[in-house]
Amino acid sequence: MRANIDCVSSRYETIGVQPVAPALGAEISGVDISKTLDDKTVAEIRAALLQHLVVFFRGQSLTPETLLAFARRFGEIAPYPFVKGMDAHPDVVEVVKREDEILNFGGIWHSDTTYLERQPMGSVLYAVEIPPLGGDTLFANMYMAYEALSDGMKVLIDGLEGVNSAHKADAAVGRIQRVSERPTGEDQFTTQAVHPIVRTHPETGRKSLYVNRGHTVKVDGFTEEESQPILEYLYTHQTRPEFSCRFRWTPGAVAFWDNRAAQHNAVNDYHGYRRVMRRVTLAGERPK
């Protein structure tokens, strides 16, 4: 098991890269992502993403158009199954928690939409309005989580598949309000999918642990009761503090994460305050 601390800014020519934690996460400086980026800058941002799994930008000023333009430099845009995007920009989804709401969107450890046949490559999240305190986001490194397992556990889970569902209660309850306001009509999507518990990253070739508390309901071929001890162990293991980082949002901050090897959790500790984010999702591939 190794941490991602060997990447330093001197390796980059167009951007600055400063790790935020030993496990994952880096802040990128020296770039205005609202502008048209040249190919070298895009390549360096992608390299930093692959190294650190989530990269952060501070002090950005993005319209929905420039947010989309930045995301498109890294891949094809994918729709979110349950909540309609903005009226003039359907590929941009507003993630909102209002002052009078208790539940938040994404307030559980998860990888995005693992209940789809093709998972997102990643997501870009932009802070429009944040609470004065709280509302941080946690991220965890699933390479490290897999690599830290015992040899016996690796033998047990390699080759097994997990059944993932959009309707697992703990995750589904957090989007109820937004779905009721801006439903897409989920019938157009398959909302249950079976994927490897250990997946291989298509770009790095590294193995990562690919179950999550938000969406994985059981091991394929096992009953839910039989699956529970294995999954509960993995859920607890994969979010150990030494595998994680915490990002404190500031106005105009952006997080861009690799959904194939990182999980995240939106901390729900700011009741009574409003939080508004804008998210764009990038299409990926079926896990292998």
Domain positions in the chain: 9-282
Active-site residue 110, yes or no? yes
Query: Mean of the pLDDT values across residues 152-159?
Result: 97
- pLDDT, residue 84, reads 86
Does 237 score more than 60 pLDDT? yes
Active-site residue 112, yes or no? yes
- pTM value? 0.91
Q: How many CB atoms lie within 10 A of CB 159?
A: 9
3-class SS of residue 72:
helix
Catalytic residue among 91, 112, 213, 275: 112
3-class SS of residue 30:
coil
Catalytic residue among 52, 110, 175, 195: 110
Residue 180 backbone zone (phi > 0: left; psi -120 to 50: alpha; other: beta)? alpha
Pick from 10-19, 249-258, 260-269: least confident? 10-19
CA 222 to chain centre: 27
The CATH number of 9-282 is 3.60.130.10
- pLDDT, residue 1, reads 52
3-class SS of residue 251:
coil
pLDDT tens for residues 17-73?
Answer: 999 999 999 999 999 999 999 999 999 999 999 999 999 999 999 999 999 999 999
Query: Mean of the pLDDT values across residues 202-210?
Result: 98
Catalytic residue among 195, 215, 260, 264: 264
Six-digit token pair at 24?
């994952």
Q: Which of 237, 208, 278, 245 lies closest to 67 in space, CA to CA? A: 278
Does 184 score more than 60 pLDDT? no
Six-digit token pair at 7?
């990447």
Active-site residue 39, yes or no? no
